Amino acid sequence: MTRFSFSLQSTDGRARAGEITTTHGVIPTPIFMPVGTYGSVKAVGPDDLLALGAKIILGNTFHLHERPTEALVEQLGGLHEMIRWPGAILTDSGGFQVFSLAKLAKINDEGVAFQSPIDGSPRYFSPEIVMEIQRRLGSDICMVFDQCPPGQADREAVKKAMERTTAWARRCRDVQMKPHQAVFGIVQGQIHEDLRLAHLEEIVALDFDGYALGGLSVGEPIEDMVRILRAVTHQMPATKPRYLMGVGTPLDLLHGIENGIDMFDCVMPTRNARNGQLFTSDGVLVIRNAKHKDSPEPIDPDCPCSTCRAGFSRAYLRHLFVAGELLYFRLASVHNLHFYLDLVTHARAAILDGSFDAFAAAFRARYRQRKEPEATS
């Protein structure tokens, strides 16, 4: 069985190009992971994802535990087999969801008691339980259970969350996982540089297979996120993958890549597609706007995705969106996911040939051209 590994192939400034090897394939980095919270990337199938060049997707431990349950997933042969996905899978620990979605969560150093957001029944997560759920799901990369403090938490609350996350990470590390499963540690510390660096030192000392920055893109100003990336990312181990959790816009991905991040995930491509926002080389296009009502143009003339390549017009997509036709969600989601995956693919190529700064500057200059306001007419 293939063991998890990471190799660094090239750098350009702080930007990195590498490869992650898993049992379910080799993943070129930097990489974007489409989010399949319940074991499904919304509105698209595994065949769409393969055609898009996706190598790894993300599932959520919290939601999969709620339904269909890890017992059923295991009974059906594991998450890969159940969803018919041949590529790699990363499972989030569910820590963010426990603290943001669960009802009446009560936390102590042992774990978290909460009520199911589905039916209100009692639930309990501990580091050991979370890792056991992920072991049964069979994902390739498993995240430790962490406490993600709310964006408005004061410094003392952030420090307490860091201490608890370190203690929980140690317990997660001691759980026996399947031979093919890697485990990533999570660094907290909010927007405090000194706390981030201190927590990074604690988590790195536990010697995980990779390291993630959690607790960003939770409402803080973009300038603070970039400041933390600049201060912390290059201090993360160079020989392990670096993952920025839950981020973000195309420009956020560029900020991460130029500071040395290797892995990203975000619901934005599919969620924004469903809400009528389509990513283009010139910025965000709002398909509901009246200006697109009779436009024969594709979403983005420069985009080679199957939606644009087939010639589906903005007028037709607007019609589907306004009519609530389900086909819209697939066509729009395929386009937005392609935009994100194409961005990291071109960024990787630029790193390999030493032209990343020029690539990033050109992308930013063009992407900011379109400032299309929301409209409902």
- On whether both 111 and 219 belong to a single domain, the answer is yes
62 in a structural domain: yes
Measured distance CA(159)–CA(155) in Å, rounded: 6
Cβ atoms of residues 19 and 29 within 8 Å: yes
338 in a structural domain: yes
- On whether both 234 and 362 belong to a single domain, the answer is no
Of the residues 12, 92, 140, 300, only one is catalytic, namely 92
- On whether both 137 and 202 belong to a single domain, the answer is yes
Based on the residue annotation, tell me whether 265 is a catalytic residue of this protein. Answer: yes
Cβ atoms of residues 135 and 71 within 8 Å: no
Domain hosting 314: range is: 274-367
Residue type, 133: I
Place of tokens 């055609």: 51
The domain boundary residue, chosen from 245, 266, 287 = 266
Torsion angles phi and psi, residue 141, rounded to 5: -125, 125
Q: What is the DSSP letter of 35?
A: B
The domain boundary residue, chosen from 218, 236, 266 = 266
Q: Mapping DSSP to helix (H, G, I), strand (E, B) and coil, where does residue 285 land?
A: strand
Mean pLDDT (whole number) for 366-377: 62
- pLDDT tens digit sequence for 12-71: 999 999 999 999 999 999 999 999 999 999 999 999 999 999 999 999 999 999 999 999
- How many residues does this entry show for the chain? 377
What's the total number of domains in the chain? 2
- pLDDT tens digit sequence for 199-226: 999 999 999 999 999 988 887 899 999 9
Based on the residue annotation, tell me whether 342 is a catalytic residue of this protein. Answer: no
- On whether both 318 and 362 belong to a single domain, the answer is yes
- On whether both 206 and 299 belong to a single domain, the answer is no
- pLDDT tens digit sequence for 135-183: 999 999 999 999 988 778 899 999 999 999 999 999 999 999 999 999 9
Cβ atoms of residues 189 and 199 within 8 Å: yes
Of the residues 48, 265, 300, 342, only one is catalytic, namely 265
Q: What is the DSSP letter of 100?
A: H
